[in-house]
Amino acid sequence: MRRGALLGIALLAPAATATPDVPPPITAPRPKDFAYAIPILTDGNEAFYGLRLPAAVYRGLTRTDRGDLRVFDARDRVVQHALNLHAPLPKPAPAAAVPLPLFPLPAADAPATGAALHVHVDAHGAVVDVTDAPAAGEPATRYLLDASALTTRIETLRFVWTSTPKPLVVALKPECSADLDHWSGLAGATLADLQAGVHRLRQDGYAMPAMKCRYLRFDWPGAEAKLERVEALPVPPQAAPPAEPLQRLELQGRPGAEGAWEYDTGGFFPVVMFDLAFASPNTVMEAVVQVRGTPQSEWRDVHRGLVYDYEAGGRKLRSAPVALPEVTGRHWRVRPAVPEGAPAAAPVLKLGWRGDPLVFVNSGAPPYRLAFGGLGVRPSGATFASLFGAQPPPVAPARLGEQQELAGQRALRPPVPWQRYALWAVLVLGVAGLGRLASKLWKEMGRPA
């Protein structure tokens, strides 16, 4: 009997310690299985309605795949719905850079109209000669750029100049013209070639405004660096309709391990862009940006590159925001690749995200509501393609009301592990029983024969 009791305890012990604190999967979820709901407001009687998930939904979800989300009708029945999470369309191949004809002009204080400069053009409007150009060997300080041959709008101008050992900062203020007689100023920009310790900062691009310029002119510090050429990067063919504007998160960091700063977004947001804002001016840092879903998960890298906020020659130089493939981890970390010389204060992490489009079938009894946040709820298995095919259906817009609480925090917490408690109780009682048996045996052994 004692041997049987020992065997039973030995078999129960692994089960008691191995039972995980995870809820069983909910195969047929009901509203009470979710933490929150938002009423869905619809107009008319269309077949399909759509909306974009708001920030409140991402803060309430417990899964990175948005699986704990359902649309219920007035009778608390699930209606067919899906998130349009199909892979993004491939980006078009970047257009090849086109070198533009570049003509030196006299200095800015000299006559600068097309007539006074004797700018000769052919029948197609292409510049063929500038008679008052600076003498050969003399550094040019002003240029005329001929873009009349391009049939598409310019997205970016890329300036190529000879390398110079000295820091170069150019305050670019281009002007645009359609006929060489009438000029209008464009937004200014800063070009730079700087060395900051082991890092080299080079900005050689100018983002053109959304307008067609046949000709451009601009000043250039020819004595500091010779301008070799200017290349045009045409606007690529549009592969998809313009995306929805990004929504923003700005997060304050706290110190973490390895000299890093850690950030909590408060939800599983689909992030597609990040930027850093430094507290101190003139900061240059090679940053490693990492993300993970839970505090127990491993960090994974999503970006490594130079981030800077710099002032040189009275001009502000700042790295551009970084586009990312969609990242849904809640926890973020920014780590300097080289800890030495890293900023003392945590930079502000700026994230750009875009809500997922949800489409549901008007097949139930309205009004509908969007329920979300259920720890035991698993994905429905329905995909956008399986419900609607390759061609998205016409979708009428729906609106969202005020958030309501269903089960609240109860749906977000692991259930009480009664099974584990029961097993431990059996173990404790078994050990207590063995203790009593051992005590009794000890007393019997101590009695004289």
CATH architecture of 98-234: Sandwich (2.60)
Residues of 49-70 as b/e, b for ≥16 C-beta within 10 angstroms?
A: bbbbbeebbbbbbbbeebbbbb
**Tens-of-pLDDT digits for all 449 residues of the chain?**
455 554 454 544 554 454 445 556 677 899 999 999 999 999 989 999 999 999 999 999 999 899 999 999 999 999 999 998 755 545 556 678 999 999 888 876 555 444 455 666 665 556 656 666 565 667 788 899 999 988 888 999 999 998 888 888 899 999 999 988 899 999 999 898 887 667 778 889 999 998 889 999 999 987 788 899 999 998 876 655 666 789 999 999 999 988 899 999 999 999 999 999 999 888 889 999 999 999 999 999 999 999 998 877 677 888 889 999 999 999 999 999 988 878 889 999 999 999 999 999 999 899 999 999 998 898 887 788 778 777 778 899 999 999 999 988 887 876 555 566 566 566 667 666 666 776 676 666 666 65
Distance CA 318, CA 406 (A): 46
Cβ neighbours around 174 below 10 Å, total:
21
Assess contact for 274 and 324: CB atoms under 8 A. yes
- Please tell me the class of the 247-353 domain: mainly beta
Give strand pairing partners of 38.
370
Extents of the domains making up the chain:
2-19+417-446, 31-88+356-412, 98-234, 247-353
pTM for the structure as a whole: 0.74
Q: What phi and psi, each to the nearest 5 degrees, are found at residue 7?
A: -65, -40
Q: What phi and psi, each to the nearest 5 degrees, are found at residue 35?
A: -80, -40
